[in-house]
A and B are shown apart, each in its own frame.
Chain A
Amino acid sequence: MATKKSAAKKSVAKKAVKTAAKKTVKKSPLKKAAKKKAAPKKSNLERLMAADVISAENAGEHDAATLNKLSSAEVNSLIKIRKKMGAAPLSIQAGSRPNFPV
């Protein structure tokens, strides 16, 4: 009998701990905030347009399927390169460009 009682006590105690843990998780403001901030994942085309790598007017010139197959490393690299151009317009054609012929 004593064993049964102590097992029942243990089970009640375990349940109490679990409930308390659940309550703590539910109450965590951090987790709530994170859930609120989670936005739907942007496509590569959306990211590239947001970073001005592709302008809205020229978006149609690019193959969306190809763009959306770019890896995140490629997209990140393109965005970094665009940032280095500052406010320079996107559609800069090579004017007098004898660049690095190797």
Chain B
Amino acid sequence: MRSSNSDLLWAKIRLAEGRLNFASNRFWSHPGLAELLPVFLVQLHRVMRGGIDLMRVARERALSMPDDPVAQLIVPYLDQHIVEEQDHDDWLLDDLGTIGISPDEVAAATPLPSVVSLLGAQYFWALNIHPVTVFGYLIVLEGNPPLTEQLEAIRRRTRLPATAFRCLIAHADNDPHHIAELNSTLDTMPLTPEQQKYLALSAFHTIDAVASVFEELLEPSLSSVGSTLDTLYAS
């Protein structure tokens, strides 16, 4: 029996996800997590805001392909998903405000090279290959949602205020629903072998780039106690 598009993509993701799990586990179990977490949230804000722009670009590109059956299925999905995600960066900005990081400071923070790579590659694929590649990015990011109990344990360990976790907790509640929609939308698409290949390459790049974000956050120049945020703003 032929595998569905999403089954095939997930089978490929399983081959690479060890890299993300390894880097992610190292970050979330780091003894200096209380200092690292605000910087993580600042970078996460970059990804959230950049992700909305990316989806808009992919939608526009899909709209410009009226004879492409896959592109025609991408447009309504992204129309809906952009609306679902559009205020999340503001929620995160509010959360950051409760731990003393102002919107100006968030805007002044330099995006990590891995964050630029994470999003930048997606623009290339969406504009130069096919906008369906953005599904490789979305499935990896939405496919491993945080668990509320994990976030609660991290909050207790870092002693950061609960208000710093509101946006993350909202994703713990919503992302399982989002991934089901992503999978079912992907399964309706008449993907070519070439498109399946690029979807996988997009997912692999996303895994690698997110793992690199965690690694960069743990680099000595960024993780020295007390200077984490200063370094980010100065760089």
Contact = CB atoms under 8 A, between A and B. Distances in A.
B138 interface: yes
Interface of A: 48, 53-54, 62-63, 66, 70-71, 73-74, 77-78, 80-82, 84-85, 88-102
B116 to A, nearest CB: 14
A98 B150 contact: yes
Interface in B169-216: 171-172, 175, 197, 200-201, 204-205, 207-208, 210-211, 213
B interface SS class: helix
Contacts of B3: 66
B168 A77 contact: no
Interface residues of B, number: 47
Contact of A94 (B21, B88, B175): B21
Contacts of A99: 20, 24, 141, 144, 146, 210
Contacts of B197: 71, 73-74
Contacts of B88: 102
Given A66-B3, A92-B18, A100 B47 contact: yes
Contact of B172 (A71, A92, A94, A98): A98
